[in-house]
Amino acid sequence: SDCQIRTGPIRALAYTNRKKQWLTNGQLATDTFDQIELLTVHCYDDAIAERKEERSMKGVRLIGFQEKNLHSLNDYITALQMILDIDKDTGYLQNHIAPLVADWPGQLFVRKAITNLHKVDSQYSIPAGINSFIPILGPLHVSLNSREHVLIVYYTFFQKLFHFVFGKRKVLAKKPKPWRINLLLDTILTKFGSTCKDIEYRMVIDLLDNIIPATLDVYSILFRSGSFNEYIETIFQIWTFALRWKRHNYNKAPLAFLSDIFYWQDTNHPFAEA
């Protein structure tokens, strides 16, 4: 596939080794984030001093509320219609496009709406304005879902680590809060690093060299530091994890995102430089 052709030679390197290359070549700067900030990146309590400004709603303008399950094509069309109704007065979308950052359901149904808009025999009534929205995979969604998937897939391993750190009486939830996942992932990466090279520990090495650091970095460091090419490369790596684990939805969502990016680059589309 296009993704494999573009990233194939790089994929042979462990993520940790690839990251060392980026740092050596000056492509990535990690000194702008301290450890507390990285561990609390998914803590949304504005009482945390380090997060007070970032979590502030100052400057936000709400244009309306609409309660929706967002589980169907019609749900998304109705929700987006609220924006299109406002655009009738502003006309903003006549000369602009609107990136729609969304998780998999948003990716799926908005793409489906755009496809049906251009189908001659579509059974759906799609507003023409839907063509102005471009669904894009959200980096925050990638980060949260990939970290959660790591814990689910390797739950037994992390459960033993959790009991070792916090005591056997403590219970590790099947889906812990994001900050606790961060703490567990960071603890094992800091504690063990990549020192075990025995063939019996290849699973652990993969966990330490690829899976944990990639899922920790993709949003908190790569995306937030503006390292776009490195972010794209790591999205591909995370997609390979989801493909290997047969994770529903996330074995497709990153691939759709990468397909868009590569198409824009190949066609010199202005959105590639946006």
Predicted local confidence at residue 104, as pLDDT: 85
Q: Determine contact, residues 138/235, Cβ cutoff 8 Å.
A: no
Query: Which amino acid is present at 98?
Result: A
Predicted local confidence at residue 2, as pLDDT: 45
Closest CA to 189 of 33, 13, 14: 14
Task: Pick the range with the lowest mean pLDDT from 30-44, 75-89, 150-164, 200-214.
Answer: 30-44
Could you state, in order of their start, the residue ranges of all structural domains in the chain?
2-53+140-273, 73-137
Q: Determine contact, residues 145/251, Cβ cutoff 8 Å.
A: no
- The whole-model pTM stands at 0.79
Q: Which residue would you say has higher pLDDT here, 18 or 175? A: 18
Q: Which residue would you say has higher pLDDT here, 7 or 93? A: 93
Closest CA to 256 of 107, 76, 103, 100: 107
As to burial, measured by CB atoms within 10 angstroms (0-12 exposed, 13-18 middle, 19+ buried), residue 135 is buried
- Give the list of residues 6+ apart from residue 189 with CB closer than 8 angstroms, or none: 208, 212, 213, 216
Predicted local confidence at residue 45, as pLDDT: 61
Percent of the chain predicted with pLDDT > 90: 15
Query: What pLDDT digit, counting tens, does each position of 94-132 carry?
Result: 888 888 888 888 889 999 999 999 988 888 889 989 999
Predicted local confidence at residue 48, as pLDDT: 58
Going by pLDDT thresholds of 50, 70 and 90, the confidence category of residue 44 is low
Going by pLDDT thresholds of 50, 70 and 90, the confidence category of residue 5 is very low
Predicted local confidence at residue 193, as pLDDT: 53
